[in-house]
Homo-oligomer: A and B are copies of this chain.
Amino acid sequence: MTEYSLHEDPASGNCYKIRLVAAYLGIPLQRRRYDIQRGETRTPAFLTEVNAGGRIPVLQIDARFLPESNAAWAYLAHGSALIPIDRFDHADMLRWLFWERHSHESYIATLRFWRHYLGEAALSPAQTALMPAKQAACEAALALIRGYLTTRDWLAADRPTLADLVLYAYTHLAGESGFDLAARPAVARWLTRVAAMPGHIRFDD
């Protein structure tokens, strides 16, 4: 039987995405923990054996290593009901997943790291200078989801897909990034729907 190990930092929302998808699918994952802030994913051993890119998460499938959170969930969910078969629905799901990586996670995860882990007082002048642009981009991303979910229950294909699980990860932590979801009720209701899916695990489970 295939053994799956997740090389991860438990504080990372990107790693949580994979745990969430695996839990929903009932796939057990062994967890190999690293502390990004202590440089544990930049050691020569990690770069040689796990990921030359020096990043986590990495999904290990027996002796093979698959970097990038998005490749990991694609592997785990292969052939499952989380991935639509219909050509348009499939592409539409990917649309949300690429959008998350480029226009959502890149802002909301950075703001969470700065505000929740470093603290605004500890930011460099360059980080402080970037804050307004990150804030505006994140507000735009949340507005886009909110607008979309005002008339729909799920992001793609009119039913739960990988897009919902993956977008859930950082969106449900928006409070730690400095955003109040009570002011965005369509988003809050969608998060509640995702959290009610069978197999759901919490971020700190």
A103 nearest CB neighbor, chain B only: B53
Task: Name A81-126 residues within 8 Å CB distance of B.
Answer: 87-88, 90-92, 94-95, 97-99, 101-103, 106, 126
Asked if A67 is at the interface of the complex by the 8 Å CB criterion, the answer is yes
Asked if A29 is at the interface of the complex by the 8 Å CB criterion, the answer is no
Given the contacts A98-B101, A106-B102, A129-B129, A72 and B53 also touching, CB distance less than 8 Å:
no
Asked if A27 is at the interface of the complex by the 8 Å CB criterion, the answer is no
Asked if A194 is at the interface of the complex by the 8 Å CB criterion, the answer is no
A67 to chain B, nearest CB (A): 6
Residues of B within 8 A of A69 (CB): 98
Task: Name A24-54 residues within 8 Å CB distance of B.
Answer: 52-53
Cα A53 to Cα B140 in complex, Å, equals 9
Interface SS of A by simple majority: helix
A67 nearest CB neighbor, chain B only: B95
> Which range holds the interface residue count of chain A?
35 or more
Report yes or no: A78 in contact with B90, Cβ–Cβ below 8 A: yes
Residues of B within 8 A of A87 (CB): 75, 78-79
Please name the 3 residue pairs, one residue from A and one from B, whose CB atoms are nearest each other, closest first.
A71-B95, A75-B91, A70-B98
| Listed A/B pairs (27) with beta-carbon separation below 8 Å | A52-B147, A53-B99, A53-B144, A66-B88, A66-B91, A67-B95, A67-B99, A68-B95, A68-B98, A68-B99, A70-B95, A70-B98, A71-B94, A71-B95, A72-B91, A74-B90, A74-B91, A75-B90, A78-B90, A79-B87, A98-B101, A102-B102, A102-B106, A106-B106, A126-B129, A126-B133, A130-B130
